[in-house]
Chains A and B, each alone.
Chain A
Amino acid sequence: MSIASAASSATSSATGPAATPLVEIDKVTGGYGGSDILSDVELSMTADQIVVIIGPNGAGKSTLMKSVFGLVRIRQGHIRLDGEEITNLRPDLVVQKGVGYVPQERNVFPSMTVAENLEMGAFLRRDDFRPQMRRMYDLFPRLAERRDQLAGSMSGGERQMLAMARALMLEPRLLLLDEPTAGLSPLFIDQTFERIKEINSLGIGILMVEQNARQALAIADMGYVLATGRNRYTDTGANLLDNPEVAEMFLGG
């Protein structure tokens, strides 16, 4: 079980040794209810990075991401956000700390309009959320065209964009994406990855789980390969793509 070193990170602009990590998952063990799904998992990322978690089904990818959001019972280890302990914090409190979460399914309010969905995303804001709403319409012009349409009547790709925009309404520091391209057509998959890069360029850290592993690693600064709830490989996206073992075992040859 070799963890390939991230020595080549010199090529990545992302990892500065001085910066406090935005997210630090420190030897986390936990799961849902009684049984542990994650054992001793580690992950660290900075705010300027896109980090992708890949691995086979049942490896604990989503569980690892949800552990940051307080949706997993952590038995051992720590999770820190900008150095602050958020281990086992309730999801609504994690949101207030600046973490946005986009679930894989049921991630919009179907019988509310696009504008109302964004407003719900801003529910905790006490200030005027309209400037942020305008920024979202700039980032996702498609949503601006459809602001009065019901979310439930939109295509899967549009809904995914709305889900991301909704999660960005509180201007989070970190965005968690659970399989953002699942079930989308190839055209929408490309568009979604483009948007993710754009969001990241605004200084928002992206931590995501993806089935389209090759495409995701291509835009990722770092990739974490999980297997049976443990770290298997950790390296830059480019290096993981070049690694023949990873390619054979986790990227379908």
Chain B
Amino acid sequence: MDVVQLFVYGIVLGSILTLGAIGVSLIYGILRFAHFAQGDVAAFGAYIALSVVVASGLPALAALPVAMLAAAGLAILIDQTVYRRLRGASPVILLISSFGMALVIRSLIQLVWGPHNQTFASGIQIPYRVGGLVLKPDHLLIVAAAVALVVGLHLFLTRTRMGKAMRAMSDNMDLALVSGVPAERVVMVTWALAGALGAAAGVFLGMDTRLHPQMGWSVLLPVFAAAILGGIGKPYGAIAGGLVIGVAMEMSTMVIDPAYKPAVAFAIMVLVLVVRPQGIFAGKVL
């Protein structure tokens, strides 16, 4: 396939990975642990959107706000009931408990929505043809919505009191606490953001491909690869990381079987961990 065409697909996938990776990075920046349930929170958001689409007949993008709110709620709920009791525990304990949480959410999804593949819209979308390029309307929507969300996040982090408090806590926890930053409120907002952005990733992934209870789990590896490549704990690094991983995964299909796309993400992640563990933007070392 054409190089430019694959690059476009890479940008679409990269936008999705970016949203997931920002969530992972935000949580790592504030709570210092790798949240393994992030993918399944994203899948939960996608399925909520599916229910809205089925019930209302609206397009998936219109269901996005509901999905984001629901996933934000789920993330806060998990934190308050499980992770909150483990504040200050070793990162390994938190990581394993988030692994357990991932299994719980995935089973729940399967229980409620069933184990089979589902899609937001039946029928075939009529693609735009620009020059030699084939662009699906959904692809344009995904990239545009992802850009809007990232810009929104940027404004939140740089313009609002709470956003700055989040950056301060991620930067220097002790100094933030003696400055009077309300730690638990910042933690809650972090989960809400990570959940909401994760849900957006899930919905977009569903729009791009299909919904399946395993979708969150299978996207988790590239999401972590993106977060680590960008420098974990650095939400802006996650944007660069997401785009690089997304493009690399799609471009790799020129030379290897598409089934190995996740392996490409994994290979990049391992390479980064060996060569430059702090990532492009000098985040925390895992």
- List chain A positions with a Cβ less than 8 A from chain B: 69, 91-92, 95-96, 101, 103, 106-112, 116, 119-121, 123-124, 166
Whose C-beta in chain B lies nearest to the C-beta of A93? B180
Min CB–CB distance A67 → chain B (angstroms): 15
Contact B168 A109 (CB under 8 A): yes
Question: Which residues of the other chain, B, contact A95 by a CB distance below 8 angstroms?
Answer: 178-180
Contact B179 A106 (CB under 8 A): no
Q: Is B167 an interface residue (CB 8 A)?
A: yes
Contact B177 A109 (CB under 8 A): no
Mark interface residues in B160-172 (1 if CB within 8 Å of A CB, else 0): 0100110110011
Q: Is B187 an interface residue (CB 8 A)?
A: no
Contact A106 B174 (CB under 8 A): yes
Whose C-beta in chain A lies nearest to the C-beta of B167? A112
Alpha-carbon distance between A112 and B157 when the two chains are bound, in angstroms: 11
Query: A101 is contacted by which of B161, B167, B178, B180 (Cβ under 8 Å)?
Result: B178
Question: Given A109-B171, A111-B167, A112-B171, do A120 and B178 touch, yes or no (CB 8 Å)?
Answer: no
Question: Which residues of the other chain, A, contact B167 by a CB distance below 8 angstroms?
Answer: 109, 111-112, 116
Question: Which residues of the other chain, B, contact A101 by a CB distance below 8 angstroms?
Answer: 178
- List chain B positions with a Cβ less than 8 A from chain A: 161, 164-165, 167-168, 171-172, 174-181
3 nearest A-B residue pairs (beta carbon): A124-B180, A109-B171, A120-B168
Q: With A96-B180, A123-B179, A124-B179 given, can you name 5 additional A-B contacts, CB distance below 8 Å? A: A91-B177, A106-B174, A109-B167, A123-B181, A124-B180
Question: Given A119-B164, A120-B164, A123-B165, do A109 and B175 touch, yes or no (CB 8 Å)?
Answer: yes
Alpha-carbon distance between A92 and B182 when the two chains are bound, in angstroms: 10
Question: Which residues of the other chain, A, contact B172 by a CB distance below 8 angstroms?
Answer: 106, 108-110
Question: Which residues of the other chain, B, contact A92 by a CB distance below 8 angstroms?
Answer: 177-178, 180
Alpha-carbon distance between A58 and B57 when the two chains are bound, in angstroms: 72
Alpha-carbon distance between A95 and B177 when the two chains are bound, in angstroms: 10
Alpha-carbon distance between A110 and B173 when the two chains are bound, in angstroms: 12
Total CB contacts across the A-B interface at under 8 A: 54
Whose C-beta in chain A lies nearest to the C-beta of B178? A91
Min CB–CB distance A106 → chain B (angstroms): 6
Contact A106 B175 (CB under 8 A): yes
Please list 24 pairs of residues, one from A and one from B, whose beta carbons are closer than 8 Å in the complex, sorted by A's number. A91-B177, A92-B177, A92-B180, A95-B178, A101-B178, A106-B172, A106-B174, A106-B175, A108-B172, A109-B171, A109-B172, A109-B175, A109-B176, A110-B171, A111-B167, A111-B171, A112-B164, A112-B167, A120-B164, A120-B179, A121-B179, A123-B165, A123-B180, A166-B179
Min CB–CB distance A119 → chain B (angstroms): 7
Most buried by B among A116, A120, A121: A120
Question: Which residues of the other chain, B, contact A124 by a CB distance below 8 angstroms?
Answer: 179-180
Q: Provide the main secondary structure of the chain B interface.
A: helix
Alpha-carbon distance between A66 and B157 when the two chains are bound, in angstroms: 32
Alpha-carbon distance between A103 and B177 when the two chains are bound, in angstroms: 13
Question: Which residues of the other chain, B, contact A110 by a CB distance below 8 angstroms?
Answer: 171-172
Min CB–CB distance A71 → chain B (angstroms): 9
Alpha-carbon distance between A124 and B179 when the two chains are bound, in angstroms: 7
Alpha-carbon distance between A96 and B180 when the two chains are bound, in angstroms: 9
Min CB–CB distance B191 → chain A (angstroms): 21
Min CB–CB distance A177 → chain B (angstroms): 14
Alpha-carbon distance between A91 and B180 when the two chains are bound, in angstroms: 9
Alpha-carbon distance between A96 and B182 when the two chains are bound, in angstroms: 14
Whose C-beta in chain A lies nearest to the C-beta of B174? A106
Min CB–CB distance B83 → chain A (angstroms): 23
Contact A120 B181 (CB under 8 A): yes
Alpha-carbon distance between A111 and B281 when the two chains are bound, in angstroms: 11
Whose C-beta in chain A lies nearest to the C-beta of B180? A124
Min CB–CB distance A40 → chain B (angstroms): 28
Question: Which residues of the other chain, B, contact A106 by a CB distance below 8 angstroms?
Answer: 172, 174-175
Alpha-carbon distance between A128 and B176 when the two chains are bound, in angstroms: 20
Question: Which residues of the other chain, B, contact A112 by a CB distance below 8 angstroms?
Answer: 164, 167-168, 171
Question: Which residues of the other chain, B, contact A116 by a CB distance below 8 angstroms?
Answer: 164, 167-168
Alpha-carbon distance between A106 and B178 when the two chains are bound, in angstroms: 12
Alpha-carbon distance between A95 and B179 when the two chains are bound, in angstroms: 8
Min CB–CB distance A27 → chain B (angstroms): 26
Min CB–CB distance B285 → chain A (angstroms): 16
Whose C-beta in chain A lies nearest to the C-beta of B171? A109
Min CB–CB distance B164 → chain A (angstroms): 6
Min CB–CB distance A103 → chain B (angstroms): 7
Min CB–CB distance A154 → chain B (angstroms): 14
Min CB–CB distance B246 → chain A (angstroms): 25
Whose C-beta in chain B lies nearest to the C-beta of A96? B180
Alpha-carbon distance between A123 and B177 when the two chains are bound, in angstroms: 10
Min CB–CB distance B139 → chain A (angstroms): 33
Whose C-beta in chain B lies nearest to the C-beta of A94? B178
Question: Which residues of the other chain, A, contact B178 by a CB distance below 8 angstroms?
Answer: 69, 91-92, 95, 101
Alpha-carbon distance between A109 and B177 when the two chains are bound, in angstroms: 12
